[in-house]
Structure 1
Amino acid sequence: MSEEKKSFTPRANVTRRSNSTTVGGRRFGTSAPRGNGKPSFGNKPNQSRGNFRKPAQRKPLTEQEKRILEEKKIKRQRLDETYEVLHAKFPKAIDRENIKPLAVDVHKQLFELTTEDGPLRKSAIRQFLASYIRNDDYHAAALKHKKRFNLEGEAVADIDEAELQYHRQNMRKKAPVRKPAFNKKPGFGARKPGAHNRQGGARRPGNNDDRRNFKPNNRFTASFTVGQKVIAGENRAGTVKEVIGDRVRVTLDNGITLLFAANQVRKA
């Protein structure tokens, strides 16, 4: 044996700590404490998220949608600028708070005030008038006043029936008023008058009125007396214990006491 082999010294056996437990020849794994020193169930980490709900994310706008929104914003600003100038010049005729139907030739007078640029451009005035007279408030004002007004706010002409019909047709229908949440009121669920009657006037069986006006029929019970031997129901022998209206209380031979209708009991 060489010197190298002689000098070799085997390592001592090192016992490693195992996380398993042997029971009946079978090995089961155990989990180390997690979190606050408490072992997790099923050897899995605690993944509970509570009642956290991620907010809904809106889909980002495309470049085309952004451009359309920007154009609408600019157009709205230009209409507002034109309105401010015209309202300052003709407050009795052009007023969004108190709209009046305009005369037919008003646009010709407004075009005389046009400038090359700014809020009084011819195209700006034309766009403003188109937006102004197509508003639901303008249609409502036409139906209310039934007259046309000049730039001084004076009535100059009547609106004929054909034009009124045009304004009625172009008014958008208002959305129905949303009803509040349903709350039960006192007396909810009570019967309506006549609800107990069937179609044709026939009463429902077991109606309360019938019960209140019920008169027992003693034709059957008159022949029974206490202590009498009888046959009740399906051939069950017994003794009459009590007679109550049109019913008979019978104690059967097996000791059980039952209440029978009189027509279900006969003499033994």
Structure 2
Amino acid sequence: MDFTDPIMLTPDPSIPRRKSAWLLAVMFVIALTAGPHLHAEEKGPNPGAIHVPAGSRMELVNVDAADVGTLYERLTGKSVEISPDTSRLEVTLIVPGPLTNSDAARLLENQLFLQGFRFKPLEAGIVKLAKGRGQWAQPPKAAMPPDPHPVAKPGNVMVPDEGEWALLNFTSLDCSLLYHALTGNRVLLSPQVVGVEITIRRQGPLTNSEAATHIEEALLAEGVQLKEYAPGEWAMIPTADFETLQARKPPAGPPAAKNPSVRVRRVPRNADP
């Protein structure tokens, strides 16, 4: 409806003055009651509102910069500008709930930190997604509401005496989710460790804590370490000798055939063989 329509601004002479005053009073009360709601909407999303409930997961797979910016706007209410140097950015972030809007935004910031990007503040309510060295965003001191599906205690037996625990070609992403189930720690992945696989075979009994230690050791053998950045928040990153270990791996193609029993005997010049 167009409120500049002159018909809307012309009083109706058939309505008594007293009734017009009553209508104005009602409109004034409606404006007062609607005012707080309008201001609440202008404040943006509630940081403490649940974005991902317990039992669900926040899943971003190969998400580009534009979609990352859109999600961050929805979580924080801030406007996001996209820098041209993010054209090749792809974000994969899979973490279990429960997560509030604030938690999800912080984990997204930390995933970008691992990939060498950040949300750079420009002015009030406006940030820019660009390359840059940031820092790990720490969680608030206030504890999150308890998970209705609490993680098993570290001393609980995960594999009984007669059982065998086997992880065959477990990817780094699989390890991050299993590590969360064993310890309660959320794990983000550095892009360099994506594609790393481990295989573990252990005979029971095994506690949750022992199983988590075996995962740490198997990853370390592949040049990957689990580092704690904040209470309950870890990252899977390359160790210092990660590139050296990668260089030692056999090439993708079939190895050249070799006969270790064959030896080469050098014959001096001007000498009979």
Identify the TM-score tier after normalising by the shorter chain.
under 0.3
Higher-strand-fraction structure: 2
What's the TM-score, normalizing by structure 1?
A: 0.19
Question: Highest Rg: 1 or 2?
Answer: 1
What's the TM-score, normalizing by structure 2?
A: 0.18
